[in-house]
Chain A
Amino acid sequence: MGLKQSQRIAYHYAVTLRRTLTGCLANKYFLVFLLVIISSGLMAQTTVTGTVRNEKSEPLPGVSVTISGTTSITVTDLQGHYTIEARTGQAIVFSFVGYASKEIVVGDEKTIDIQLAVSAVDLGEVVVVGYGTQLRKDLTGAVSVVNSADVKKRQATTLAEAMQGLATGIKVRGGGQPGSEAQIQIRGLKNVSNSTSTNPLYVIDGLITNANRDFNPNDIESIQILKDASAAAIYGSRAANGVIIITTRKGKEGPMKIDVSAKSGIQIMPRYDLAETDEFKRLNYMAYDNAGVARQKLDTTINTNWQDEAYKTGTINDLNVSFSGGGKNGSYLTSLGYFGNKGTVISTGFDRFSFRVNSQGSKGIFSIGENIAITNAKTDEMGGNPVLDVVRLLPTIPVYNAANPGGFGYGDEAKARTFATNPVAIANLIAQTNENLRLRGNIWSELKFASWLKYRLNLGYETSRDHYKFFRKPGNWTLNQAYEPSIANENRAESASRLIENTLAFKNKFAKHDVSVVAGQSFQQNDYAQIWGEKRDVLVNSEGRYYDVLDQGINAKLGGFRRRATLMSYFGRAEYAYDDRYLMNAVIRRDGSSVLGTGLKWSNFPSVSAAWRISKESFFNVNWINDLKIRANYGTLGSSNIGEYETRAFINTLTTIAMGANQQKELSATQVQLSNPELRWETLKQQNYGFDLSVLNNKLSLSAEYFIARTIDVLYQSPILMTTGHDGSAPRANALTLENKGFEFSATYRNYDNPFGYYGTVNITTLRNKIVELGYGRNELYVGNTVTSLGQPIGMWYVLQTDGLFQSQAEVDNYKNAEGKIIQPTAKPGDIRFRDNNGDGQITNLDKVVVGSPWPKLELGFNTGATYKNFEFTMDWFGSFGAKVFNGPRSVMDRFDDNSNYRAGIRPWTPENPNTDVPRAYYGSTLNSRGDTERWLENGSFFRLKFLSIAYNIPDRVLKNIGFSNAQVSLTGQNMLTFTKYTGLDPEFSNGSIFEKGYDFGAYPNLKIYSIGLQLGF
């Protein structure tokens, strides 16, 4: 399960790091850039050779072979052979990703053949930690490694979506619709600005960027997630939300290898069970009759299933081919990819073409390489919100109605009083596309002055050409809509990000002292510019075809803007290890950002971490424990993830007024928005404590972390009062302090001793956020149905409590406060009884109380897999427990005050049906259906089979006959099974507002996906 992939990674790194280092410690004290290296006198050596095999006795290439206590390293070749110089009595250490390391003391023999056993943790795995690598066993910070093979098995538009459940502390909520980008959150909420700024920093081949929808996940070689402050500190600013480091694939030594993969799948939209015309009519008339309103004249000859009209089965096609190879001094990889998605909502889709070239070469001390990707992604955007529209539309409305402008059916004053919008009309009348051509890449070169000292220059460049296009034909999609002519709107934009980095790296070993130091400087500049234009009444020919260009037409509008931000940084990291037992790591970074206030642009972000490998101590004699390491760290990180010019207040010069006898246009200009000029760095201070334990011959590994993260001066748009006269989203302020405490636990058991091999991993994450300061001296902040108070988590549900239904007039009359005042005098049997929490004898906003938290108490991932002969089986589960969520669509379906469709089978209160929690149906009054009550809150817990895959590897003997080196066929399913009490479409929905995280407004649900895949190599 993914071993092949990690083997390749290890092999790759072993090859690039291949060297023999000799040296000894001349002095206890040393300075980083002024080292005196004295070669140690060489003793008599013998040459040891041998073959390393895996548990199936197959040769293992890429195994690193070292002499303990020295820096001698070599790696096994493709046949598993190795050759190394060693002295008698020295220990040879064989280590390899995914396998338990072995130590053999050299005796007289010249040949040592060994077999490695699979281990639960890849302690020897090379982990990319930013401007360098570390061995997994030497990590002092919290770093997760995601198996890129697992990621590639999934049908996902973006990388984030594919990573769900594959690492602890990572929370992903998918977008669902074609081309939509998933939200990802590492270790909870550190920042409350908006959905995109909680995204982590992505570093792709050293380029600080974003793995958005135009990045092809198939190009990934490895993914590491830096979760805590000490791990991420080298990236300083913008790393507060964690860092995801992606390395793309490189060619390997050998003849050209061609890899082909093809996946094809279908997507299925979850659906509501909604009333059809007969049931709708009965319920609708009941609501009208109860309210004493004359019934509307429903057209019962129509029975439209709006979900059938708006939804269809989506399709996904993902094709990739790559060509790679290399020699001793160079390698290349070229890959081509196509990803196509026809959405589950009519007239939506996404297409991506991608092309990548990665190559590198070296001559002497000089090496150079580049990673360049070109992608073109085009989205056919969704208009309106069909997820809500299908609920709001009545089954008695026809899809088409020639009497309406444009010819589509919608509400009618006499027959169907609703403002619901017809998604078929929107799909036909509006065409909306978004296309981006992106070039993303870097060129790097390295000078290796000595085996222990190298200089690297990294030039990164990313640019995109964006084109958004909107065209609207005349015609209506909702009742009483104002007339609009044809409208064409387009914008074209370009973005460019330039990065220059210089780093100097020192790495050496002096007896038992391992030292490595990196120092560097980085400069990044981001530019964005856009122009846009619009016209109305565009040209149309006699056959009704519109010319959707900004040429002929009236009411021309145009506009444009430019933005630039710069970031300047200096950083350094020192790592020190003594005898593999004591590990230390210190990072300092100094960042300057153009987006912050004058005099507040620069800040320092230090961090330190340490680990102690107890299992290596001589006193430690527990032979069933293979490895035990405890870790602690403390670090600070900065964030300045805000707009380019938010520290200044500007004049809005866009508007005009009409004035004078001829109503001439006059210019107007004024300050519309307030600003806080003194914006400074948002700072995350994090402590992390953890241990790693491997037992039972490395079969079982456990890892646990506890962390306390405090984000101070969060740059966030703290709502301000309307009496300030400010308009738009609130100005950014360093307004809030937030604390996250969390515990992560992960356990893996692996057993590949038998032909039937299997593994299982359990990830558990608990997290609690708490507001320490709210900004502008506030104690509480109210947004929608939530309150955020000091000492409490963000966005707690704050609503009226309900207490069942009134069953009789007597119950209404007897529902009094202490003073005997009837609390709901106008209520009738069947109405909701609300709690008069302040006892004033009436139901008002003052009766609202906190009734629950939108945050899960526990999140659980369970990944398991097995192999038997040529079959591989994988299954991933994800569960979230304890959140209370607001079911927005149900607050539409189960209300009777307004006209929308109803849930099939709903039985409102009637004298004949008193045992229900659905109040009596009553048209035209919000009293039973008001949105700010407990009625719409539900248990949001769920446990979901995110992924299931069965793969068959075609046996070697068959392959040889047909000329392939490997071939695999797989069947996968995503989101196939969900256990939940939530009655909405998807308990795993996503809401961009941090204060209303648990509010399902009719979010596009996660889809069920079934696909078949084929991978070939030759």
Chain B
Amino acid sequence: MKKFIITILVLAAFITSCNKSLLDQTNPNTLTVDEFWKNETDAQKGVNAIYNIFYQDGTWSRWIHFRLDLTSDEGMSKSPWVELADWTRFQYVNYNFWEGNSWTWRDTYKAIFRCNQVLKYVPDIPFTDAVKKDRILAQARFLRAFYYYYAALLWEKIPIVLEPPVDPGEQAKENTLAEVWAQVEKDLNDALPNLPEQWDAPNVGRPTKGAVYGMLARTYMQQHKWSAAKTALDYFITGAGKDLYDLVDFKENFRATQENNKESVFEIQYSKENTGGDCDCVDNNMGNNRAQFFAPRGIGWSDGQARYWLVNEFKKEKTTDGQIDPRLRYSLFYPALEADFGDKVYGRSWEWGADEAWFKKYSRDYYRNNEDYFSEVNIRIIRFADILLMYAEVLNELDQTGNAYQYVNRVRQRSKMAPLAAAYPSIGNNKEQFRNRLKMERALELCGESVRWADLKRWGDLESQDKVNAVAERDPDFKNFEVGKHIRLPIPQSEVLNNPNLNQNPKY
């Protein structure tokens, strides 16, 4: 019995004497933040994680296309999910609507958080090759500018966050739209010197100088800073980027077959290699969902489709050899597609409405009869044809209309369309008429490529009731558009309610 008691007392003493270490449990599963950001590999992984946001649903994998393509006059929604459709026609009831608003807001700031981590921690990491370090930091700056640019387009006056939060309770301060544009310009200009003209093969897909100039030009153009925009675009026309870019076979801009081609200025890399969720998890999906959501009824969710006026617009002008504009064939699914070009829709003959059309760009109809969540087709953010049309627009705005023609012609020529002056001789040197025609040229070349919403805002087409009425003739959803209100989205209501430093956008 004594032995027994002694055993117990020893046991008890043992337990009580080692309590300190017993209460210090470390996570056996992963690194703490303090253990990370120590070497070049960490920095590389850290910057890679920013690209990972492209695979998340609020951004270019899914929902931002609803905002940029469907809300614009190019697209619409007949989704049986009424609230989802309401958010493409300015019927915003619940400002927290996750799919329509909050998700994209959340993922935008998630991306910015990742950029801010790189920009905070990487400067202190020793690198053997300073160029490599500078390039990592420049990528983070470019991507931060990229997300602020699109946030500015969508919500306009948003908080600028430039540091990882110290306290999870931080309440970011609201900034004006001008301040947001200034931040975008600053980040792009800071990134510019440290990014290469071109990357080596394993790094193709990361931003180049061209990508920075393209985003800079867009940022300046949205602010009507035309000469600054011209300077940026000169890089492609007369500058060091002159020989790096060219136009390629039109359809190869929307397929996985010739990605990162010569026309590509910046594109998002998607792959079907993984089949996990759209999350920060094992085997995370590296594809995009756009086609699954935009494919016609019975094939995909059919939550978004194209406005039919685009079909009519394509058919207004024939090619120089009297054919239908070949871009129509690769831009849209429409009732006469099979009759005009012999193409079925995902192997089916037309079974939808006689006045309906669907976005064909980025669809995988070219090699399969269905879609899924793992589309490997890269999404082209900026391609050279857009740069040329932007350059033409900038020149026109700078009263160099005559000089602008050649750049529009170069785009038209690829699709066997006659030179602009030949097709529309009445425009001449009339800046207004040139601009009007250019708007349509952009639609025909770039429809469904997520540039239209920025275009409408830049052109001032949403600034007055008269102009909105004109847009509403193409897209009746704009009958719901209230000038001064719907030009920007409501900020998610929970963000406004729970942050005294942030006000809701006007009129919401």
List CB contacts (< 8 Å) of A848-872 with chain B: none
B403 interface residue (CB < 8 Å to A): no
Inter-subunit contact A557/B276 (CB<8 Å): yes
Of all chain B residues, the one with the shortest Cβ separation from A723 is B172
Given contacts A650-B27, A659-B206, A721-B172, contact A480 B298 (CB under 8 A): yes
Type the 1/0 row for B149-183, where 1 means its CB is closer than 8 Å to any CB of A. Answer: 00000000001010011001111100000000000
Does B274 contact A656, Cβ atoms closer than 8 Å? yes
B42: chain A residues within 8 A (beta carbon): 669
| 8 Å CB interface, B94-126 against A | 94-95, 102, 105-106, 109-114, 116-117
Contact of B201 among A593, A660, A719, A731 (CB under 8 A): A660
Contact assessment for A661 and B105 in the assembled complex, using a CB-CB cutoff below 8 Å: no
Is residue A994 contacting chain B, with contact meaning CB distance below 8 A?
A: no
Contact with A along B193-215 (1 / 0, CB 8 A): 00000000111111000000000
Which one, B25, B50, B372, contacts A645 given CB within 8 A? B25
A15 contacts the other chain (Cβ, under 8 Å)? Answer: no
- Residues in chain A near residue B109, CB distance under 8 A: 722-725
Q: How many residues of A contact B (CB 8 A)?
A: 100
- In the assembled complex, the CB of B115 is this many whole angstroms from the nearest CB of chain A, namely 9
Binary CB contact string for chain B from 288 to 325 against chain A (1 if under 8 A, 0 otherwise)? 00001000011111100000000000000000000000
- How far, in angstroms, from A658 to B302 measured CA to CA in the complex? 27
B4 to chain A, nearest CB (A): 8
Q: Specify the chain A residue showing the minimal Cβ separation from B300.
A: A480
Counting CB contacts under 8 A, is A395 at the interface?
no
Q: In the assembled complex, which residues on chain A have CB atoms less than 8 Å from the CB atom of B202?
A: 659-662, 664
Kindly identify, within residues 108 to 148 of chain B, every residue whose CB is under 8 Å from any CB belonging to chain A.
109-114, 116-117
Say yes or no for A484: interface residue by CB 8 A criterion: yes
Residue among A555, A557, A669, A675 facing the most chain B CB atoms (10 A cut-off): A669
A216-B106 Cα distance, complex, nearest whole Å: 45
Residues of chain B contacted by A664 (CB below 8 angstroms): 202
**A-chain residues with CB within 8 Å of residue B204 when the two chains form the complex:** 659-661
Q: In angstroms, how far is the closest chain A Cβ from the Cβ of B335?
A: 16
A666 and B508 alpha carbons, distance in the complex (Å): 43
Chain B residues positioned under 8 Å from A650 (CB to CB): 27, 29-33
Stretch among B8-16, B425-433, B435-443 lining the A interface:
B8-16
Given A669-B46, A723-B109, A725-B114, A480 contacting B302 (CB threshold 8 A): yes
- Cβ-defined contact, A670 with B105, below 8 A: no
Q: By the criterion of a CB under 8 Å from any partner CB, how many residues of chain B are at the interface?
A: 104
List chain B residues, Cβ under 8 A from A663: 205, 259, 269, 271, 273, 376
A655–B281 CB distance below 8 A? yes
Residues of B within 8 Å of A594, CB to CB, are 22-25
A contact residues around B223 at 8 Å (CB): none
Output the least CB separation between A367 and chain B (Å). 12
* Contact A781 to B29, CB < 8 A, known contacts A555-B275, A669-B46, A926-B86: no
Whether the Cβ atoms of A731 and B5 lie closer than 8 Å is no
In the assembled complex, which residues on chain B have CB atoms less than 8 Å from the CB atom of A457? 8
* B residues less than 8 Å from A917 (CB atoms): none
Contacts of A654 in B (CB 8 A): 280-282, 284
B493 touches A845 (CB 8 A): yes
Among B51, B280, B373: residue with most chain A CB under 10 A: B280
CA A658 to CA B283, docked complex, whole Å: 12
Taking a contact as CB atoms under 8 Å apart, the answer to whether B371 and A500 are in contact is no
Q: Are B168 and A720 in contact (CB under 8 A)?
A: yes
B275–A536 CB distance below 8 A: yes
**Which of A26-34, A381-389, A562-570, A706-714 has 4 or more CB atoms under 8 Å from chain B?**
A562-570
Bound: A593/B23 CA distance, A: 6
**Which A residue sits closest to B46, measured CB to CB?**
A670
Which of B75-83, B226-234, B336-344, B413-421 interfaces with chain A? B75-83
Task: Kindly identify which residue among A601, A657, A730, A845 contacts B269, using a CB–CB cutoff of 8 Å.
Answer: A657
Q: Please tell me if B499 contacts chain A, counting CB pairs below 8 Å.
A: yes
B297 lies within 8 A of A782 (CB): no
Known: A654-B282, A671-B164, A724-B168. A665 touches B27 (CB 8 A): no
Let me know if A674 is at the binding interface, CB within 8 A.
Answer: yes
For the complex, what is the distance from the CA of A844 to the CA of B110, rounded to whole Å?
Answer: 29
Given A536-B275, A661-B260, decide whether A931 and B22 contact each other with a Cβ distance below 8 A. Answer: no
A110 at the interface (CB under 8 A from B): no
Q: In whole angstroms, how far apart are the Cα atoms of A379 and B472 in the complex?
A: 56
| Pairwise interchain contact A926-B83, C-beta atoms closer than 8 A | yes
Given contacts A483-B370, A652-B280, contact A366 B1 (CB under 8 A): yes
Please list 18 pairs of residues, one from A and one from B, whose beta carbons are closer than 8 Å in the complex, sorted by A's number. A417-B80, A447-B4, A447-B5, A480-B298, A480-B300, A566-B25, A601-B23, A650-B27, A652-B30, A655-B284, A657-B49, A659-B205, A668-B46, A725-B113, A733-B169, A780-B498, A781-B498, A926-B93
B residues lining the A interface (CB < 8 Å):
1, 4-5, 8, 11-12, 15-16, 19, 22-33, 35-36, 42, 44-46, 48-52, 55, 80-83, 85-86, 91, 93-95, 102, 105-106, 109-114, 116-117, 159, 161, 164-165, 168-172, 201-206, 259-260, 269-271, 273-276, 280-284, 286, 292, 297-302, 370-373, 376, 492-495, 497-499, 508
Interface of A toward B, CB cutoff 8 Å: 365-366, 411, 413, 417-419, 447, 455, 457, 479-480, 482-484, 500, 502, 521, 523, 525, 536, 555, 557-559, 561-566, 568, 592-595, 601, 644-645, 648-672, 674-676, 718-727, 730-731, 733, 775-778, 780-783, 844-845, 897-899, 924-927, 930-932
> Which 8 pairs, one residue from A and one from B, show the smallest C-beta to C-beta distance?
A725-B113, A776-B169, A670-B49, A658-B271, A668-B48, A669-B45, A668-B49, A413-B297
